[in-house]
Structure 1
């Protein structure tokens, strides 16, 4: 296990979500031909929170846009933070994801817990951390598959920069996020601070399994989506 780090003024063990990653469906089918899609190099890129270290007391200007050498796509304007409110549902229209969200805590070893594997269309949110839409880094995780087939985030690696993620909140509103990057990391080189670290604006991370696959140990890493708040309704 890696050391604990701060996420939105709370503590979470900064570890890849290995409990999501058994590859049960692939093991059952005895084949890798149904492996989930993985993000291409074109979808990777630095995210604003990882690109720079904000000066003390300084937040990024509202409506900031720009390009970086690693990300030639113009960014959508960042929206003002929403008040805290737990998420009830996550939607990713381009992937046809429409799933309820349950609260997740930490295991006895301090790592992020996961949704029940048998409920394949269910995502989880780290409920001791930032709520999606408020300032900071909100964490959502879900299975890529289970023994019966693809699960909620099976196609997460196919998501593109600029795509939209919608999070329906308990206060009746919906937080809208724009995808900044989709990356895959080996578990041994998981960038804890980049993924879990605090952000000066409302950001979202969506995590599932990915990378190489071994029949003995399952998936070897994680797919991570980086997104920021662009609006609400």
Structure 2
């Protein structure tokens, strides 16, 4: 009698195949987790995604009150303020040269925290040395400027950007133009200095109101 030949199991039903298939699926799942998560942490372990933070509403503008002092903590500035008007050429006056550590505030514009574009100016240096805004060009975006008022309150502005403009092509509209929120421009001299013509440029700090005290 011819012995029957033992039928072999199909290859896809063998134990070795099942083990290999399980190993391959495990590798694929791990790769997907790494690619999706980027840190090798299973994304399913995160029960809830963090809700996006709600934007902080802008502070309410303040009523009119005379400015008294200006602080820029990042630059170590804490200086008194004097009011400035326009000269005969309808140009903004400059703070007194004999007091290099005083800031001038245009009294024809908004006071600290009022709607509109307020303007503060100061010297970069004088004949006796560095003045109040010697380091103004180095202030960084996000730093704070605090303007105190005669009524005891303060307006806190946050720096948006710092620009240097040639005096010959100074963009009056961009710097002094109206805005839809309380803003501040802090200005001093910049560029090269000549004995006859003075500095060639102006440094302008753009900031907007972010808090009141």
Which ranges in structure 1 are unaligned for 5 or more consecutive residues?
1-63, 66-75
Identify the structure with the greater helix proportion.
2
Does structure 1 conserve the Cα–Cα contact (< 8 Å) formed by 2:84 and 2:104? yes
Q: How many residues align?
A: 160
Tell me the SS of whatever aligns to 2:146: strand
Q: Distance in 1 between matches of 2:70 and 2:149?
A: 9
Match runs of 1:1-233 below 5 Å:
78-233=58-213
Tell me the SS of whatever aligns to 2:132: coil
Tell me the SS of whatever aligns to 2:64: coil
RMSD value, Cα = 1.5
Does structure 1 conserve the Cα–Cα contact (< 8 Å) formed by 2:159 and 2:206? yes
Shift of 1:217: 2.0
Q: Per-residue displacement from partner, 1:21-69 (whole Å, max 9, x unpaired)?
A: xxxxxxxxxxxxxxxxxxxxxxxxxxxxxxxxxxxxxxxxxxx96xxxx
Which ranges in structure 2 are unaligned for 5 or more consecutive residues?
1-53
Flag as ranges the 4+ runs of structure 1 deviating above 4 A.
Answer: none
Tell me the SS of whatever aligns to 2:174: helix
Point out the structure with max Rg over C-alpha: 2
Shift of 1:77: 5.8
Q: Per-residue displacement from partner, 1:160-190 (whole Å, max 9, x unpaired)?
A: 0001000001110111000000110000111
Does structure 2 conserve the Cα–Cα contact (< 8 Å) formed by 1:77 and 1:230? no
Q: Say which structure, 1 or 2, has more relative contact order (CA 8 Å, 6+ apart).
A: 1
Tell me the SS of whatever aligns to 2:183: strand
- What TM-score do you get using the length of structure 1 for normalisation? 0.66
